[in-house]
Amino acid sequence: MEKVIDFTKNPVTEIYGMHCFSDAIMRERLPKNYYRVLKDVQAGKAELTAEVADVVAMAMKDWAIEKGATHFTHWFQPLTGLTAEKHDSFISPTKDGRVIMEFSGKELIKGEPDASSFPSGGLRSTFEARGYTAWDVTSPAFLKEDTTGVTLYIPTAFISFTGEALDKKVPLLRSMEAVSRQALRVLKKLGNETATHVFATVGPEQEYFLVDREYFDRRMDLMLAGRTLFGSAPAKGQELEDQYFGTIKDRAAAFMRELNYELWKLGVSAKTQHNEVAPNQFEIAPIFDVANVAADRNQLVMETMQKVAGRHQLAALLHEKPFAGVNGSGKHNNWSLATDDGINLLEPGASPHENAQFLLFLCAVLKAVDVYAGLLRVSTANTGNDHRLGANEAPPAVISVFLGEQLEEILSCLTAGKPVKNAQGQKLELGVNALPKLPKDLTDRNRTSPFAFTGNKFEFRMVSSAQSIAEPITMLNAVVAETLSEIADQLEKSKDLNKTISDIVCSTYQKHKRVIFNGNNYAPDWPAEAEKRGLPNLPSCVEALPELLKKENVALLEKHKVYSHVELESRYEVALERYSKDINIEAQLMISMTSRDILPAAVDYARELSLTIAEMKKAAAKSSTAGLESVLASIAEAVDQLLSCKASLEKELAAAPKAGDAAAQAKAFREKVVPAMVCLREPADALERLVSKKHWPWPTYEDLLFRL
């Protein structure tokens, strides 16, 4: 291991944020009046002028150069789901053959990367070909470290010249504005005169697997597809429940320590870590941030994790389902709304007044999740998550809300006009002026719900481990903006505020209680019950994607200026194409791994067996070779099946349309190619159980899941 971190020599309080152009650094380095203007710009209260941009750019450059930077980059999030960057140096040659180091306000606020090779779903052909990146003033710039130095990274949004979003950040920022606008309308009616902005706050819990790098490098499927395409189930899986919160192995602990170290330097508040349910599965969670910052930082967590894993001769797997038969990985998005004067709007309050507020925002979420379940579902739809949602070890593809019995009881009593009692059995008065002091701890825990209330926030658990959190949070903000706007409409028209609030709470509960489910979402009878309740179940990505273009969904997203119709069409195209490409890669890989690795291994071992049988017969004519012959026969049979399944997969792959209608193509991959892949895996895994380990071409599930 190259790096030993000694926190006694590098106290956390000193290293924390050393690579982040944080608020503290800006306050220290910017002239006071410019710092104040910049704060106003961040708060949306002032425009960014060229002069301010120049001053900030200069301070940023000086800081970066002092830390050893020679280059800067605009850092953005195209529709690949990853981040993108193009580096420029600060150098500016002088006439006499020297250089000075320069960085202007113009370079800080706008970049023009050649964007023609990013997925755009036809957007750029319809419109102007070029795109530009624009500085996201609200997300701190940072220094990324490699083995020889650092580079200045500036978080940006990526936009076409005609204003269409080409990335994941622009819609997120728009959705944050939308939900803020509507939340403020509601707050105003509740008498809040001080809040000027409402922020969506997000704390993403990131799950991942660690495997030994040597094993990873020997598995082409892990390297190219991020998941095992073959692999016989190990004798031991997660059934002993001995991994979750178990003792963290030394090697994982060392990795985590260095990961935290790197993240803390970046100002990413890595806070909790533990063993997850599956063997060699782990979780890391930061302290929550404002949504766009949380999204940027989650990308950094994912990137840093992979980098640090490499230093420990490990590979960090972010795929949603790297291994069949054990838990997949998700990314629980803890989400809430907070005012700029510090109130968490999903916090049950101490006073009746705060409780009216809490109940209204709770109702807004409840309604949004019920009415726009499709949009939330599609925001988590991708090839990897198809293996997770609705499978055995993951939340189902049906969206329901967990409120906990206590909270549901309160809503149900309010609605029925029945007295509400607290945990001590005391009757609580109703009406807004005398709304009950809600019990402080309203949380029972439910680990199976895709959307759970956890005391003062919701936890959206359907989100997949590898995806950017921008999309799910964008949709969540957007749908809640809509229901808040409906509530605001009612409050603004109201003649009797208290009565209107009561009416809203009661009618919301009555109309949308079907989406509340406090039971076990993994139970086999839940999907049937959900169907009876009329809740949508969109089991796969291909089935979920059309939600993006449903009339009512487009109308909502356009109304709140989160996505335009063309942007949605382009995203629909990009997602479908991506799905087909992903499956195509996996299918090709399975074919090549079958021909080049599995078949030769089976053939070698079969030959060894045949020779042994022949030699045994020759050496002692009476020796029984029946057992070995039956093993040989089983291998021959599995090989036959393997070859026939491989032929079917090749046939389906050849038949799948390669261009043209993206929906038809994705449908063919989903309905024809995927089943053929499942079919091929069976004889391959059977062979793994028959062929000697010495002959098997790659590390098995036992190696991958238990050796660390």
- Cα–Cα distances in angstroms (integers) from residue 394 to residues 402, 521, 582, 630, in the given order: 15, 9, 21, 39
Which of ligand ADP, Mg ion, none has residue 131 at its interface (CB below 5 to 8 Å by kind)?
none
Q: Which of 390, 385, 473, 457 is nearest to 207 (CA)?
A: 385
Instruction: Compute CA 255 distance to the chain's CA centroid, rounded to the nearest angstrom.
Output: 22
- The least CB distance from residue 607 to Mg ion, in Å, is 53
- The piece of 141-149, 259-267, 282-290, 480-488 that touches ligand ADP (CB under 6 A) is 282-290
Which of Mg ion, ligand ADP, none has residue 319 at its interface (CB below 5 to 8 Å by kind)?
none
Which of ligand ADP, Mg ion, none has residue 456 at its interface (CB below 5 to 8 Å by kind)?
ligand ADP
Contact between 285 and ligand ADP per CB under 6 A? yes
Contact between 457 and ligand ADP per CB under 6 A? yes
Contact between 457 and Mg ion per CB under 5 A? no
Which of ligand ADP, Mg ion, none has residue 129 at its interface (CB below 5 to 8 Å by kind)?
none
Total residues in contact with Mg ion, by rule CB under 5 A: 1
Please, which of residues 244-273 interact with ligand ADP by CB under 6 A? Answer: 272
Nearer to ligand ADP, 285 or 635 (CB): 285
- Rounded CA separation 270/294 (Å): 12
Contact between 336 and ligand ADP per CB under 6 A? yes
- The least CB distance from residue 598 to Mg ion, in Å, is 39
Q: Going by C-beta distance under 8 Å and a sequence separation of 6 or more, which residues neighbour residue 50?
A: 105, 106
671 with 663: CB under 8 angstroms? no
Rg (CA), the chain: 28
From candidates 286, 348, 374, 384, binder to ligand ADP by CB under 6 A: 286
Nearer to ligand ADP, 16 or 161 (CB): 16
Contact between 332 and Mg ion per CB under 5 A? yes
Nearer to Mg ion, 334 or 474 (CB): 334
Please, which of residues 190-219 interact with ligand ADP by CB under 6 A? Answer: 201-203, 205
Nearer to ligand ADP, 41 or 484 (CB): 484
Contact between 219 and Mg ion per CB under 5 A? no
Q: Going by C-beta distance under 8 Å and a sequence separation of 6 or more, which residues neighbour residue 102?
A: 61, 90, 91, 92
Where do we find the tokens 């393997």?
642
The secondary structure of 319-367 as a DSSP string is -S-SSTTS---BEEEEEEEEETTS-BTTS--SSHHHHHHHHHHHHHHHH
The dihedral through the CA atoms of 550, 555, 556, 560 has a sign that is positive
- Rounded CA separation 396/383 (Å): 15
Which of ligand ADP, Mg ion, none has residue 230 at its interface (CB below 5 to 8 Å by kind)?
none
- Rounded CA separation 450/522 (Å): 10
In single-letter form, the type of residue at position 464 comes to S
- The least CB distance from residue 697 to ligand ADP, in Å, is 39
**Per-residue binder mask for ligand ADP (CB under 6 A), 409-448, x = binder:** ----------------------------------------
117 with 130: CB under 8 angstroms? no
- The piece of 330-338, 615-623, 642-650, 700-708 that touches Mg ion (CB under 5 A) is 330-338
From candidates 273, 275, 334, 540, binder to ligand ADP by CB under 6 A: 334
- The least CB distance from residue 561 to Mg ion, in Å, is 32
Which of ligand ADP, Mg ion, none has residue 513 at its interface (CB below 5 to 8 Å by kind)?
none
What is the token pair recorded at 549? 């273009």
Give the length of the chain.
708
- Rounded CA separation 698/606 (Å): 18
- Cα–Cα distances in angstroms (integers) from residue 48 to residues 41, 42, 463, in the given order: 6, 9, 34
Angle at 71 between CA 67 and CA 74, to 5 degrees: 110
From candidates 90, 127, 132, 288, binder to ligand ADP by CB under 6 A: 288
299 with 176: CB under 8 angstroms? no
Q: Residue with the closest Cβ to ligand ADP?
A: 203
Tell me the residue ranges of DSSP E strands in 182-226. 198-212
- Rounded CA separation 328/385 (Å): 9
Q: Residue with the closest Cβ to Mg ion?
A: 332
- The piece of 68-76, 98-106, 327-335, 591-599 that touches Mg ion (CB under 5 A) is 327-335
From candidates 82, 253, 287, 678, binder to ligand ADP by CB under 6 A: 287
- Cα–Cα distances in angstroms (integers) from residue 354 to residues 348, 350, 351, 440, 619, in the given order: 7, 7, 5, 13, 90
Which of ligand ADP, Mg ion, none has residue 285 at its interface (CB below 5 to 8 Å by kind)?
ligand ADP
Please, which of residues 471-500 interact with ligand ADP by CB under 6 A? Answer: none
Give the single-character DSSP code of 97: S
Residues lying near Mg ion in the complex (CB under 5 A): 332
Residues lying near ligand ADP in the complex (CB under 6 A): 201-203, 205, 272, 285-288, 334-336, 344, 456-457
